[in-house]
Structure 1
Amino acid sequence: MRVPILHILFFTFISFSTAFGQAEKKLVKINTQNSYVEIHGTTNVNSFNCSYNAKLPENEFEVSLIKKGNIIEIQHEALFLKVLNFKCPNPQMTDDLHNLLEYEDYPYIIFQLKKITNNKIAHIMIEMAGEKQFYTVSLKNSLKNNQLISSAIMDLCITDFGLEAPEKFFGMVKVNENIEVEFKIDMNIYDN
């Protein structure tokens, strides 16, 4: 089963008690009512926000973590966000976003968390439209008992993925090639 990006960004503030280099398994359950992923963009005329509208899985899932000093490696399969599940304020903007991301040839945005450093920096691989890029993201974390809330805003340039920012109305409206991906993940984490 393919699951969305939200499953990759929640391990950052867990305190790990395993021996150096040994795998530790955790169970994670997302609180779907309080979690979201959004894309923010601008044009030369205004700004826009598009939200990921798919229902997040409510079942618990397992991840393996390996601590090596201040680095936590995360072992999991790549995770998928279905492009068609992003919705914008109006249908034309939604269609433009889907077409920009070449959804017919590349129906998913693929994410893979490689590691966490210093309990707050995520190292992520993102694949869009068949192109892979690597990013580091500073996370804001809040941990209380077993509840973890992680949030961040990532800056991306669509041209890094071989995509060209669209122009509308004979070039009068131009989309900025820089976008932001904002997320907040509210989850509960348990020992397995």
Structure 2
Amino acid sequence: MKSLHIIAILILLSFGFSKNQSKVKITNKSEVTIKGKSNVNSFECKYNSEFIEDDLHVSITRNNSKMLLEGAKIDIKSTGFDCAHKMITKDFKSILKAEEYPHIVINVRELIIVKENISAKLNVKIAGIEKEYMVPVAYNQNNGNVKGQLKLNIKDFKLKSPKKLLGMVVVNDNVEISFNLFLQY
């Protein structure tokens, strides 16, 4: 009788769930940009698209409006950013502690789909510290394009913004990460 209860529970738990494996390629047409501001100016650091191409083996479990993902982990080289100015690029890599932590890891854990709206639950790991975020994303099925913006505070990762000219130039702790990923299945 006990085994009948276990089977019944397993059937109920699996109702509405379907799981499949998919190979996803992030192409080098993709872009990742980090934007920030100081009390004097703003800056934009673009990720080198040569480093962006990656193959992921993603396991997807669907449950109604949720898609649970395993293996949707993106490694971004901390040294792969160019801020269009040598000193800003150097300071930016210093902020990220790029020598000590060579990768920023973004792990897409879950997609939540409600009508036309998609949100991604991400774990972001910078300088050895991991935080969870919910990010609204846009997906274009025709070209496999995923776009979104993640706003975060660098203090959440125990990072410190540099102060220049005896503290007269101060970088804001809030940054915006914009991503425009082109995927192939």
With structure 1 as the length reference, what TM-score do the two structures score?
0.81
Give 1:148's match in structure 2, choosing from 122, 140, 144: 144
- Aligned residue type for 1:102: K
Secondary structure, counterpart of 1:139 in structure 2:
strand
User: Displacement, 1:102?
Assistant: 0.9
Give 1:165's match in structure 2, choosing from 156, 161, 164: 161
Could you say which residue in structure 1 is the equivalent of 2:181?
185
Q: Higher relative contact order by CA 8 Å / sep ≥ 6: 1 or 2?
A: 1
Q: Is the 8 A contact 2:135 2:148 kept in 1?
A: yes
Q: Aligned residue pairs: how many?
A: 167
Q: Flag structure 2 segments of 5+ consecutive residues without an equivalent.
A: 1-14
User: Displacement, 1:63?
Assistant: 1.6
**Cα distance per residue 1:57-111 (max 9 Å; x no partner):** 26x5432110012110011164311100111111111110111111122111111
Secondary structure, counterpart of 1:150 in structure 2:
strand
Secondary structure, counterpart of 1:141 in structure 2:
strand
Once residues 72 and 149 of structure 2 are traced to their aligned partners in structure 1, the CA distance between those partners, rounded to angstroms, is 23
User: Displacement, 1:117?
Assistant: 0.6
Compute the RMSD of aligned alpha carbons.
1.7
Could you say which residue in structure 2 is the equivalent of 1:133?
131
Could you say which residue in structure 1 is the equivalent of 2:59?
64
**Cα distance per residue 1:147-176 (max 9 Å; x no partner):** 311101110100011111211010111000
Give 1:96's match in structure 2, choosing from 75, 79, 91: 91
Once residues 25 and 109 of structure 2 are traced to their aligned partners in structure 1, the CA distance between those partners, rounded to angstroms, is 20
- Aligned residue type for 2:148: A
Q: Flag structure 1 segments of 5+ consecutive residues without an equivalent.
A: 1-18
User: Displacement, 1:22?
Assistant: 2.8
User: Is residue 176 of structure 1 aligned with residue 172 of structure 2?
Assistant: yes
Give 1:123's match in structure 2, choosing from 96, 109, 121: 121
User: Percent of counterpart pairs with the same letter?
Assistant: 28
Give 1:53's match in structure 2, choosing from 44, 48, 55: 48
